[in-house]
Amino acid sequence: MEAPEKIYLEKEYPDNGVLPNGLNYNQSPNDIEYIRADAFIKKASFWLECNLSDRPMEDRKFWVEDFENYIKGE
């Protein structure tokens, strides 16, 4: 089974002190959203490439690769 791109953690817990696992794949207004790092990097890289469309292809590739390496800590 492949990991979902996003999961949501319930922000509010029951008053009885018993914590459910809290993991949910459906979002509700009070949830905390967690996104897989590789999904974030892919989406942010796509946005960056689209917003650099006025630049030559070599420049776009350089900026996107530089961004990905920075985010990955390389």
Give the pair of three-digit tokens for residue 69: 């390496």
pTM of model > 0.85: no
Distance CA 54, CA 45 (A): 16
What is residue 51's predicted lDDT score, i.e. its pLDDT? 87
Q: What is the pLDDT at residue 21?
A: 56
Q: What is the pLDDT of residue 26?
A: 57
Note down pLDDT in tens along the chain; length 74 residues.
Answer: 577 777 766 655 555 444 455 555 555 666 677 788 888 888 999 998 888 888 888 888 898 899 899 988 87
Tell me how many degrees the CA angle 10-30-25 measures, rounded to the nearest 5.
50
* Secondary structure (DSSP) of 24-69: ESS--TTPEEEE-HHHHHHHHHHHHHHHTTTS-HHHHHHHHHHHHH
